[in-house]
Amino acid sequence: MARASGGWTDGRLTAGSFLKPHKAARALFHPAWIPDSLDPSIERLKRVRVVAGVVASLGVYTFVQGGFDFTELLENTMTASAVLLVLTPLTVGVMLLVWRRTGTVRQLRAPLLASLKLLLLFIGCVVALVLLTQTSDSSAGVLLSLATAGALLWMAVFVVWGAVRVSGNFFGTAAVHRSLPALLATVTSWLMAVPDLVTGDLHGLSLTMGVVFVLGAPVTVTTIALLETSRLKRRYGIRLGTHPASLPPAPGAPPRPPAGLPHVPPQGNPYSHPHPPATGGHPYAPGPRHPYAPGPRHPYAPPPQPPYPPRRHPYGG
C-alpha cells in the first residue's frame, strides 16, 4: 500500500520551507509514503470529513462561549492528542485481530511503524507548542522578545496546519488500509463527544445548542465516513474487514505476485514447435513445410503421371 520510494518528505522539505510553516507542515505531516487518493470524489469527501473532524477535535463551542480563547484551544488540542495517543493504537489493534483471519500482522509492520512515528511527531509538536506558550506567559509584565513572539507564531501555524493534514490522512493509516482513516475519524469524534453527553457538560450552552454542537460533528463525520467506505467498497472492492494484502490491487498498480510463489516468466504455447524457424533469413524463402508434403517440382518438368495407367478394353478399337 505504501509508496515504494521517496522516503519521508521526498525532497519537499528544504531550507526555504521553514520560512513558510504551512509548507513545512505539509511536508512533515503528509509524508511521501502515504498513497494518493483513488478517486476525486473520495478526496472531496475526505476534505469535508477534515472540516468536521476539526470541529470534533477542537470544539467550535469555544467560539460561541463569548469569543475565542487561545488557552482553551490549546487545552482542547492537548486533550485530543492524549485521546489519539491511546485510541488510535487501540482501534488499529482491534482491526489487526479482525484481519488475522485472512492475513498476518507481519505484512503490515512497515506501514504500521510509519503511522506510529507520524502520530508521535504530531503529539510532540503539540506538546512543544504548549510548553512554548507557557514559557511566554511565565514572563508576565515583561515585553516578549521578537524572537519568542516569532517562534510562537510560527509554531502555532505549523501545528494548526499539521492538524489539518493529519486529520485528512489520519496519521498515514491509509498506507495500512484505505478504509482505516474513515474508521479512526468516526471513533475519535464519538469518543470526544460522548463524555460531554454523559456528564451533561454542555459548556454553558443551552440544551438545544449544546446537543447540536456536541452531536453535530460526530454525526457529520460518521455520515461522510460511511459514504467514503461505501464508495471504496462499491467502486474498488475495498472492504474494511478484509486484510489489506487480500484486497484487489489499486487502479494503475502492478499486480501482486501470488504469496509464497517465485516469479514465473510468461509461458508460450506448450504444443508449439520446439525449434521455431530462425529469423533474419532470405525474405522470400519458403516457410516451414509439412513433414509429409511433396517436395518442390521443376518448373519445366512434365506433369506427374498416375502410377497405374488406365487399362484398355480388349475389344476396343
Residues 92 and 112 sit within 8 Å (Cβ to Cβ): yes
Q: Using pLDDT thresholds of 50, 70 and 90, give the confidence band for residue 270.
A: very low
The segment with the largest mean pLDDT, out of 13-27, 40-54, 190-204, is: 13-27
Task: Decide: 180 and 174 in contact? Cβ < 8 Å.
Answer: yes
d(CA 22, CA 28): 10
Tens digits of per-residue pLDDT, 275-315?
555 445 555 555 555 555 565 565 565 666 666 556 665 56
Q: Which three cell numbers stand for residue 262?
A: 517465485
* 274 DSSP assignment: S
pLDDT > 70? residue 118: yes
- The percentage of the chain sitting over the pLDDT mark of 90, rounded to a whole number, equals 27
User: Which of the two residues, 42 and 143, has the higher pLDDT score?
Assistant: 42
Residue with cell 531550507: 15
Nearest-CA neighbor of 21 among 161, 164, 158, 162? Answer: 158
Q: How confident is the model at residue 262 (pLDDT cuts 50, 70, 90)?
A: very low
| Res 271: pLDDT | 45
pTM of the model: 0.71
User: What's the rounded mean pLDDT across residues 137-166?
Assistant: 77
Q: Could you give the angle at which helices 40-58 and 146-169 cross, rounded to 10 degrees?
A: 130
In whole angstroms, give the CA distance from residue 139 to residue 201.
Answer: 33
pLDDT at 196 over 60: yes
pLDDT at 151: 86
> Would you state the cell numbers that stand for residue 98, as one nine-digit string?
479482525
Assess whether pLDDT exceeds 60 at residue 230. Answer: yes
**pLDDT, position 93:** 94
In the predicted model, what is the mean pLDDT of the chain? 75
Percent of the chain residues past pLDDT 70, beyond the cut: 65
Residue with the larger pLDDT of the pair 273 and 54: 54
pLDDT at 285: 54
Contact assessment for residue 193 and residue 61, using Cβ atoms and an 8 Å cutoff? no
Closest CA to 181 of 193, 189, 172: 172
pLDDT surpasses 80 at 209: no
- Contact partners, residue 204, CB within 8 Å, separation at least 6: 65
Identify whether the C-beta of residue 23 lies closer than 8 Å to the C-beta of residue 132. no
